[in-house]
Structure 1
Amino acid sequence: MSVEHRARARRTARVGWALFLLTTVLYVSTAGYHRVHIDVLSADVGAWRIAATGTPSIDGLDTSSINRSRVDLFSTVHDGRTVIARSPGVIAAGVPGYALRQWVSDAGPDAEDFSTVPPTVTAAVLTALSVLLMWGALLRLTSRRNATAAALVFALATPVWSVAADGMWTHTLTVLGISGTAFGAARDRWLLVGLFGGIAVWGRPHTALVTAAVALTCAWLQRRPGIVVRVAVVGAALTLGASLWTFWLYGRWTPSGGYAPTPYLSRGSGAQYDFNQTLGGLLRNEAAMWLSLDRGILVWTPMLVFLLPLVVRTWRTQPAWTRALLLAGVAYTLFQGAVAPFHGGEGIYGYRHGLEFLACATPALVVAAAQAGQRTRVMLQATVGLQFAAFALGGVLNRPTLSFRHQWTDNAFASGLRDVPLLWGWVAISVGLVVLLSRMFLRTDEPSN
């Protein structure tokens, strides 16, 4: 390795560390420690009980002082004990932080000893790691400056900040898994693809679609069946771990944790998930994933509107893994729209069911952005500035949020602008800052690694 190459590698490593530290500090300082969604709170309680008592049972626990929302904690009864019903990963990922807290503070297992801090900090750090991994993947596609800028957009101008980094959501793990999958595929390290694909399965089992699509596509195009073997062996081992966890807590071997497959498959009238009992209801839900004013992927991240046509134009020159990842993201999102309501619940700023698509699409979008003309670049910069203004508000405050009845007809950020006109000044500052920094530091260049 030449002296120049070593110096470049050191500079790249310094940028990576700076990116990781910046996002870690930002995410940890702005995460949701007090206004916690019931999905996240349920997972936190499950992790805490395991760390504090060695058992997942919440029997005898007075949850009234923990859960002050109108919705009960998600729980189920197995083998005569009440346990939290959530995905394996969101509970398991919170256990080490609580175990460390137990060791440091000797906190007890009673309700007054509960805290949301350990898993929330863990979620923030894991999301910062996701940004770092995505940046590492993008380095193989564009220059270091462009990759860093794209990673910052991914980190600060999308619901990655307002959702994945805000608490221990399933999306915290799926975004980590998909970002790691991109990192491994970009570097032809297929054991890593299997590892991170398995991590994503611990968050949401159907992310296996993403890992399988990338592995099968690259194996087929490169005539390398060993890719599938490497990914399958590691991924299967982690999936088995999720199944063992599910059996321990719920007595089932499916890797879905507290979510039994039956509710997703049963569409009878009055079922919890009966929104797609008719074709019209299904199509409406699928459309809402993309277009509803307060949950739509294209509404909250309009940069996609500019970049997707460029993806089509550059499709033949895209690496196989970026194409496979993008198509897998589309397939995953369509599947998600068929099995769960588009909104994902109340008290959410931005969308959450589209985060997996965003992570899957990011590498292909970055390749496409390099082909943008001057006018499109200016529009993209202004749009990113607008997105940053919106998600900085949501990332810091996780407000405002809208109720179910407004999710087709209104948007939380637009509502905030109406209620607090001074926020228009923040929008102007954000757009101007992003445009200025883009013109100062970005350039089209060859990949740095």
Structure 2
Amino acid sequence: MSSSMRRRLAWTVWTVAVAGVLLATISTRYVVNDVLSANLGAWRIATTGVPWLDGFPLDAIETKPGQFLWVRESLHGHQVVFRSPGAVAAGIPAYLWPRGTAPEDFSLVPASTFAVLLTLLTLGLFARTLLPHLGHAATMVAVSALALATPVWSVSADSLWPHTVTLLGIAGMAWAASRSPVGSWAAVGAFGGVALWGRLHASLIVAVLGLVVSTRRRSLRPALSAGVVSAVFLAGATAWSRWVYGEWDPAGGYASVDVYATKAAEGERWDQLVNLAGLWVSPGRGLLVVTPCILLLVPALVRSWRALPDWATALLLGGLAYSVAQGLMNLFAGGTGFYGYRLMLETMACAFPALALSAARAGLVARALLPGLLAAQAVAVGVGAVRDAYSVDPDEAWHSNALWWAVTDIPTTGGALVVAAATATLAVRVLAPGWFTPWRNASPAEQAHQRG
């Protein structure tokens, strides 16, 4: 068997294995209000051709105590689901096969299954982005960590969230920007358009990506091409809003965007700073608390900054800008009914290529700790993906941690974390002993190999 065939086989096995894990843990009986509403809207369009729910017996849709549907009356007098365009539109293909239009014909399974497919596409795009730089083995490790050691597993691959759509758009932007020395900036704009259909303020990411790269390359082409194409998608979101809600507002189906933006302009600065901090370091929802491996890679990122591709650092800056906008617009906790964080998934995805490309310059301590910490993260996220009960209440996000809750509830969870960390560290020690050689002490040949 040739080396290329072995690589194809390895990636096929990897895809089947990851798909199996993600499919085994999708939500089929309960999803949060946002997702349930968007799924209902997608099903309605797919089965009737129109989004209206006039006369539809909404009380026949199964809900849990305290759960409700985001259904209101549009400006043109129809009852309709009010969610972001991408959250609804992305689910339409999942419901296209012939089904009835009665309430009992509605199911969460098609949309949740489709969320796994979109997540696999996201992982595939990130893999294609990293392969020329890292090679097959390191790329497979990196995308595995993204898939299973972050809330990608417990949120965007669990059910069809807007984040499922935005992460696909971000991965596509990374892939398109990395193509050849100059990148494909029209494709960057198209994938940026996908992202903003999921969450409107994701337009910041494509804007920062295009502008930063244009500035560094002293060329208008990246910003202009990406901006023009993404503007077409923004116009499409506006047209969707006009059709469904009767208003020329791309956020028309997600009216709270306008409400939060108004609150941000009128809010107290201290409250805004606390909310921004919550996105990063709160015990219940903090990016650096739920995925602490990022902290281990920050020094390597700093050392690598000038050597990284301009698109990778620009994408990271776009993700940081997005996080600021997110913190000003919405409560950092992001609701309940999921494990880990969700509002920082976009920022984490934007940082992923730069962090993965920087890992080769990690120091001795980071190299020693990273395999075990990633394995422990995967166990923690897996527990949250399997058991919906471990979801922090928004009011307790500064005082509660779902992993600690799980460990105290089922003590064997702590043992599983330790065993996973030890096993992963030992496996890397046996299979890739060179990983434990610090970058600064490696030979020039080894450094070149680690850089890809």
Tell me if TM exceeds 0.5. Answer: yes
> Which stretch shifts more, 248-257 or 436-445?
436-445
User: Would you say the 8 A contact 1:385–1:430 is kept in 2?
Assistant: yes
8 Å Cα contact 2:299/2:362 also seen in 1: no
Residue 422 of structure 1, aligned match among 404, 412, 421: 412
Whether 2:218 is the aligned partner of 1:226: answer: no
Look up the match of 2:197: 202
Please state how far the C-alpha of 1:254 moved relative to its aligned partner: 2.6
- Which residue pairs with 1:71 in the alignment? 67
Give me the whole-angstrom Cα distance separating, in 1, the residues matched to 2:216 and 2:342: 32
**Please, which of 319, 324, 346 is the counterpart of residue 314 of structure 2?**
324
- After alignment, is 135-144 or 179-188 more displaced? 135-144
Contact map agreement 2:261 2:328 (CA 8 A) in 1: no
> Aligned to 2:89, which of 84, 88, 92?
92
> Which one of 178, 203, 206 corresponds to residue 211 of structure 1?
206
Aligned partner (choices 185, 199, 208) of residue 190 of structure 1: 185
Structure 2 partner of 1:130:
122
3-state secondary structure, aligned to 1:252: coil
Contact 1:88 1:203 (C-alpha < 8 Å) held by counterparts: yes
Partner Cα distance (1:314, 1:362) in 2 = 14
> Residue deviations 1:187-244, cap 9 Å, x none?
1222321221111011011111111222222223223322233323332222222221
Q: Which residue of 2 aligns with 1:52?
A: 47
In structure 1, the partner of 2:443 is none
Alpha-carbon shift at residue 13 of structure 1 (Å): 4.2
1:146 is displaced (CA, Å) by 1.1
Quickly say closer, same or farther: Cα 1:27–1:159, change in 2 above 3 A.
Answer: same
Question: Does structure 2 retain, via aligned residues, the 8 Å contact 1:76–1:258?
Answer: no
Deviation at 1:97, TM superposition (A): 1.4
Which amino acid in 1 is paired with 2:133?
Answer: L
On the 8 A contact 2:338/2:384 being kept in 1, the answer is no
Residue 237 of structure 1 aligns to which amino acid in structure 2?
A: V
Is the aligned partner of 1:120 residue 2:122?
no
Q: Structure 2 unaligned segments of length 5 or more: list them.
A: 436-445
Residue in structure 1 matching 2:334, options 329, 334, 344: 344
1:248-327 maps to which residues of 2 (within 5 A)? 248-260=243-255, 261-267=257-263, 277-327=267-317
Task: Give the stretch that moved more between structures: 58-67 or 38-47.
Answer: 58-67
Give ranges in structure 1 of 5+ residues lacking alignment: 268-272
Question: Number of paired residues?
Answer: 433
In the superposition, the TM-score normalised over structure 2's length comes to 0.90
**CA offsets 1:240-275 (integer angstroms, 9 cap, x no match):** 2222111111122232241235312333xxxxx89x
Cα pair distance change 1:413/1:249, threshold 3 Å? same
Q: Residue 427 of structure 2 aligns with which residue? A: 437
CA displacement at 1:137 relative to structure 2: 1.1
Contact 1:163–1:348 at 8 Å: present in 2 too?
yes
Distance in 1 (CA, whole Å) between partners of 2:361 and 2:57 is 58
Secondary structure of residue in 2 paired with 1:398: coil
User: What's 2:170 paired with?
Assistant: 178
Cα offset for 1:117?
1.1
Identity among equivalent pairs (%): 37
Give the match's secondary structure for 2:361: coil
Per-residue deviation, 1:133:
1.0
2: distance between equivalents of 1:292 and 1:411?
A: 9
Distance verdict in 2 for CA 1:11–1:229, change over 3 Å = farther
Counterpart position of 2:148 = 156
Contact 2:300-2:363 within 8 A present in 1 as well = no
SS in 2 for 1:76: strand
CA shift, 1:288, in A, is 0.6
Is the alpha carbon distance of 1:448 and 1:23 closer, same or farther for their aligned partners in structure 2, counting shifts above 3 Å? Answer: farther
- Equivalent residue for 1:406? 396
Partners of 1:123 and 1:166 within 8 A in 2: yes
Q: Matches of residues 7-26 of structure 1 in structure 2 within 5 Å?
A: 10-26=5-21
Output the CA distance in 1 between the equivalents of 2:187 and 2:273: 36
Cα offsets for 1:53-77 (capped at 9, x unmatched):
2221122222233223413211221
